[in-house]
Structure 1
Amino acid sequence: MTIAKLRAVALDCRDHLALAEFYAAIIGGTPVRDEADADWIELTGHEGTTLAFQESPGHVPPTWPSDDGSQQLHLDLTVDDLDVAEKQVLALGATVLDATDRDRSWRVYADPAGHPFCLCAD
């Protein structure tokens, strides 16, 4: 018997609308602001677990690699073509964290708020 079910993965950030729009361009969906909580936005209309964004003015981006343990979490996003997806996420404002091994089936980037995420070959 489970105790709970996963409702959402929430990312803290300084500009929650901008980060929601960044991920909407990658995984689809529409950013929808919570009427009861202006600091909360969820992506709706995409496949998979809900991705949410919470405004946090004091947010400090994690470091990569996380030698000091500050990474906390990252998202793995499956793509058909790593090279094509890389160009697209970089155009949206992502930065490369670890993509030097081009033969590997995954590459690591940071979103505009500094959260690490991986593009993974399907």
Structure 2
Amino acid sequence: MALAKLGAVALDCPDPGALAAFYAGVLGGTVEAEGDGRWVDLRLPEGGTLAFQAAPGYVPPKWPAADASQQVHLDLTVEDLDAAEKEVLALGAKVLDAEDRRRGWRVYADPAGHPFCLCAC
């Protein structure tokens, strides 16, 4: 028996609405802002929630860097890496790892600097 159920994965960022819009463009879903916009939920089509929280003085993680660790990242599975890459770049992502384009994943940063991977399914 589980002790708890995952409610959401929350990312700190400087602009929750903008980052929620980025991930809505990548994953689909419905953006729901609460109150003053310092907390925004993205309700995902398959269930679950990705949340975004305003963090004063936010400093993005560096990848890879032992002194400014990423702490957590999202692995997003896609059918076509090349097509998905074009779309996330158009939405504002930045390439973090362009070394080996033949492997089954690629590393990017979202507009707030959080690392995420596109992974071939």
Q: How does 1:22-61 map to 2 (within 5 A)?
A: 22-35=22-35, 38-61=37-60
- In structure 2, the partner of 1:98 is 97
Range with bigger deviation, 47-56 or 74-83: 47-56
- 2:84 and 2:74 map into 1 onto residues whose CA distance is 15
Once superposed, which parts of structure 1, at least 4 consecutive aligned residues long, lie more than 3 Å away?
A: none
Which one-letter code corresponds to 1:105 in the other structure? G
- 1:82 and 1:95 map into 2 onto residues whose CA distance is 15
Q: How does 1:1-122 map to 2 (within 5 A)?
A: 1-35=1-35, 38-68=37-67, 70-122=69-121
Two-structure CA RMSD over aligned residues (Å): 1.4
Deviation (angstroms), 1:52: 0.4
Provide TM-score, normalisation by structure 1. 0.92
- 2:21 and 2:101 map into 1 onto residues whose CA distance is 28
Aligned length: 121
Which one-letter code corresponds to 2:66 in the other structure? D
Provide TM-score, normalisation by structure 2. 0.93
- 2:71 and 2:82 map into 1 onto residues whose CA distance is 27
SS in 1 for 2:37: strand
Alignment CA distance shift 1:120-1:59 (3 Å): same
Which one-letter code corresponds to 2:32 in the other structure? V
Which one-letter code corresponds to 2:46 in the other structure? E
Which one-letter code corresponds to 1:89 in the other structure? V
- 1:48 and 1:64 map into 2 onto residues whose CA distance is 29
Q: Unaligned regions of 5+ residues in structure 2, if any?
A: none
Percent identical: 68
Q: Unaligned regions of 5+ residues in structure 1, if any?
A: none
